[in-house]
Structure 1
């Protein structure tokens, strides 16, 4: 079985090089950038329509959103829960009240998301207070990853290539795919004749974390936080 596609959802003003989202789309065959219209003057309905179209064309993908893109994903999954989305990685969501250009996206959703999700937050993000991001993760039922002092986790903050982002995406893929599917950086299937129980997953540093169900997984698992 092949890995699901990754749909990359940018925020306000897009994610031009050397932003990690641009780098990701340029270096991974299975990653597709969603072409959201008018990134400097975003319209919620137009952006939702485009993202829905991409999801329908590429069902069971993993969504990776940054800033306003993360907000868009949370809003869409909360309002249209039957969309075929496998999981979501939500990086540095933006507080939409901070700019008139994105105020049309208010209010931020606070309902539980219908898919496994990880929210990555920075302690000095100018677009959202750290505590607010942590509260949103609880509301959305997402794992919470503390990225430390990382600004808005964008090119201006030095993110550029961000391999840990891919590790977080791969971890989401590994817990939602069939046990015999190989995910880069994670154990492959066990040899025939051995137990078919899924092994614990490890990141490149050898940190172990479980693969709980979407309903029972911990909401602030420390081993996930150590991935960042």
Structure 2
């Protein structure tokens, strides 16, 4: 039997420990619970234990969960999966954050499809920091132009950067995170709205926090392995 409340307590303690070791305040690091493929009953348990931010990867599943849990008015939904052009409207209409913007075309569609009567959609630019051909994300050289475009979109709020580095040893991972931290610092100097560096998961969160991550994404350690 999964005890989600205990799992969340353990992860928050890990965040505190990693932040202390990095001489950072643990308050500066938030936890995004990755709830993809998990039933709403488990999300409800996490919510009851105090978790408010949830990340989803699949559009139809996201929409269904948003609708089923609409009564939880202070829940915050993050879409963290690849964004297909024919799915942008559903994302624009249903979530609070989109972490995987990697091209102007996608940002343009989200801006046009976000209702101007609600708060802007918070967005992070996904960066292909390791330069993997098989992985989504903007090239480092594309970040400046993409950020400027998003900053000029009235229905989008530029919040920061997201990355999933290539698998490797700790030193390889750390170098990728250091590159992300440098990009993030540059973006912060240009745009006051930028405050989020979304990087690090269960296996590399300590390194990510040491390199300035402000949001870690954890799924299995909270909800258990996928069935």
| TM bin (shorter chain) | 0.3 to 0.5
Q: Normalized per residue, which structure has more helix?
A: 2
Flag the structure with more relative contact order, 1 or 2, with Cα contacts below 8 A and sequence separation at least 6.
2
Normalising to structure 1: TM-score of the pair? 0.35
